[in-house]
């Protein structure tokens, strides 16, 4: 069941991100701060967190509108617990994000990831879901770690 994320999900979602092995400790801290700030603000229609719940959090996605654009959105985070990957849950969660954005008149969804070898599976996932590489910023994260931006046009 995919549902809005609630404050009680915070610990499980940070553990899920940690289990992926793709986040540094400081990034996990920042994730906790992002969730805390999200829950402390009144309703903000320019961003949302969703959780894939199967008797506990098995997936999460966070999306926010790009400021000063006409309905361009950024998928800032999507993750599935490692023991539940390969079951189509990530694609289902991403389709849910896309459908949510189309219902809100979203035009474009961008997602960025690293160009390092340990993110090849992530990049293949986006390509399989219909995203095209739009940009590459060399040495963005650190020397040898490019930022790759994928794009998908959304249509109702």
Q: How many CB atoms lie within 10 A of CB 99?
A: 13
Closest CA to 133 of 118, 108, 155, 111: 111
**CATH no. for residue 146?**
3.40.630.30
d(CA 72, CA 91): 20
Q: What Cα–Cα distance (Å) separates residue 142 from each residue in 28, 56, 137?
A: 18, 35, 11
Report how many domains make up the chain. 1
Note the pTM of the prediction, 2 decimals.
Answer: 0.90
d(CA 134, CA 132): 6
In which domain, by residue range, is 97 found?
A: 2-153
> How would you write the pLDDT of the chain (156 residues) with one tens digit per residue?
999 999 999 999 999 999 988 788 899 999 999 999 999 886 677 999 999 999 999 999 999 999 999 999 999 999 999 999 999 999 999 999 999 999 999 999 999 999 999 899 999 999 999 999 999 999 999 999 999 999 999 986
């Amino acid at each position: 069941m995919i549902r809005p994320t609630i404050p009680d999900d915070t610990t499980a979602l940070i553990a899920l991100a940690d289990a992926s092995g793709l986040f540094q400790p400081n990034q996990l801290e920042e994730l906790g701060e992002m969730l805390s700030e999200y829950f402390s603000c009144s309703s903000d229609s320019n961003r949302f967190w969703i959780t894939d719940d199967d008797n506990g959090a098995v997936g999460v996605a966070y999306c926010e509108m790009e400021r000063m654009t006409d309905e361009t959105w950024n998928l800032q985070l999507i993750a599935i617990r490692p023991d539940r990957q390969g079951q189509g849950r990530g694609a289902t969660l991403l389709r849910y994000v896309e459908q949510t954005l189309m219902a809100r008149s979203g035009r474009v969804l961008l997602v960025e990831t690293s160009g390092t070898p340990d993110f090849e599976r992530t990049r293949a996932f986006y390509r399989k879901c219909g995203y095209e590489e739009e940009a590459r910023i060399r040495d963005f994260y650190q020397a040898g770690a490019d930022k790759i931006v994928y794009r998908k046009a959304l249509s109702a």
